[in-house]
Amino acid sequence: MALDLFEFFTNYPTKNKLIGDDYIFVEYKCPIDIDQFKLWSDTPFFSYVISGRKDWTAVDKTYKLKAGEALFFRKGLYNTKQYFEEQYCTLVFFMTEDFIRRFIANNESIINNKSPEFEDTQVFVVDVTESLKALILSIFSYLNQPDKIPRNLVEMKFNELLINIVMNSSHKDLVSFFNSLKQVEKTNINEIMSKNFHFDLKLEEYARLCGRSLSTFKRDFQNYFKETPGKWLNNKRLEYAKSLLENNDFNINDICFESGFKNTSHFNSSFKEKYNYPPNQYRKLHYGK
């Protein structure tokens, strides 16, 4: 099961956290004994690493993040891998798409609307300049103050963070993503589902990723795919599992969970129903493995 990152940090028991209506800022020290796990978030976020390193794998690429570096993540699902030589400590800034839309509307004069057409990128590498680093650490200093920080001050700092990012010419792709949100109030359901079908999420969680209530998600899904989410997910996961059988590095258990199935018995019976043979036998017949 993938960890709901936004919900996790909302409830994370630490004093080093600031929460507003459309944002969260938190310092997180990941336990050093955690190696790998899957994460998902229905809210975009920015992560700056103080210490340690971690690999983030999106749909088609792995990003290696270490101390002093930062990434901006669109909402979606990720695999992570942590290294054990040093505790991983990061500052995480969550900001909703509505927050980003307001920022764009209030700062159009400084945003280059002629930025390249948005390409379907899941993760953006952030150029951590000295000014950006100083700004991040100034926000971090708020966490250690004994008095409650006014929300409007924190929101102002979040806006300042985004201004610093968009003013840097190396962030044209990220600016294009920000601009793309102006025209899209509802997330593309095909884009989200086609990228993330192999994660073991509940329908309610897929609905959140798609920015919809469960009932609206089911209706829009049926209108677009012409079948129910459950049936579509099962077929997509089986097709993906069939493609993984060609790789001899994966055993059947690996393929089962990588494809989004909860247990091997359900996976085996579903695979046999669709392809006439259980996975092991199918692999031997078609790939000689």
Mutual orientation of helices 97-106 and 172-183 as an angle, nearest 10°? Answer: 100
Residue 289, pLDDT above cutoff 70: no
pLDDT at res. 46: 95
Q: Residues spanned by CATH 1.10.10.60 within the chain?
A: 189-287
How much is the average pLDDT of 221-242?
94
pLDDT at res. 117: 67
Residue 76, pLDDT above cutoff 70: yes
pLDDT at res. 258: 87
Sheet with 23-30: list strands edge to edge. Answer: 17-19, 23-30, 88-95, 45-51, 70-73, 123-126
For 118-155, b/e burial (b = at least 16 CB within 10 A) is beebbbbbbeeeeebeebbeebeebbeeeeeeeeeebb
Q: How would DSSP label each residue in 29-41? A: EE-TT--EEEEEE
The token duo for 21 is 């209506």
Cβ-based neighbour number of residue 271 at 10 Å = 27
pLDDT at res. 146: 58
Picking from 4-18, 19-33, 119-133, which range would have the lowest pLDDT averaged per residue? 19-33
The token duo for 216 is 């609206």
pLDDT at res. 196: 87
Q: How many helices (H) and strands (E) does the chain have?
A: 12, 11
pLDDT per residue over 22-63, tens digit each? 888 888 887 655 666 788 999 999 999 999 999 998 877 899
pLDDT at res. 47: 94
pLDDT band at 186 (very low <50, low <70, confident <90, very high): low
Homologous superfamily in CATH for domain 3-183:
Regulatory protein AraC (2.60.120.280)
The token duo for 239 is 């097709």
pLDDT at res. 112: 59
Residue 254, pLDDT above cutoff 70: yes
Residue 100, pLDDT above cutoff 60: yes
Mark out the alpha helices in 197-263 (DSSP H runs): 203-209, 214-225, 229-244, 252-258
pLDDT at res. 165: 92
Element (H, E) at 275: helix 264-275
User: Nearest-CA neighbor of 99 among 150, 142, 48, 161?
Assistant: 161
pLDDT at res. 157: 83
Element (H, E) at 65: strand 62-66
CA distance 69 to 136: 12
pLDDT at res. 246: 82
**CA angle, residues 190, 193, 198, in degrees to nearest 5:** 150
pLDDT band at 115 (very low <50, low <70, confident <90, very high): low
User: Nearest-CA neighbor of 76 among 113, 45, 51?
Assistant: 45
Residues in the chain: 289
Cα separation values, 130 from 67, 68, 173, 276, Å: 14, 10, 21, 60
Q: Residues spanned by CATH 2.60.120.280 within the chain?
A: 3-183
Homologous superfamily in CATH for domain 189-287:
Homeodomain-like (1.10.10.60)
Cβ-based neighbour number of residue 83 at 10 Å = 14
Q: What is the mean pLDDT of the chain?
A: 86
pLDDT per residue over 132-159, tens digit each? 999 998 888 877 665 666 777 778 888 8
How much is the average pLDDT of 106-122?
72
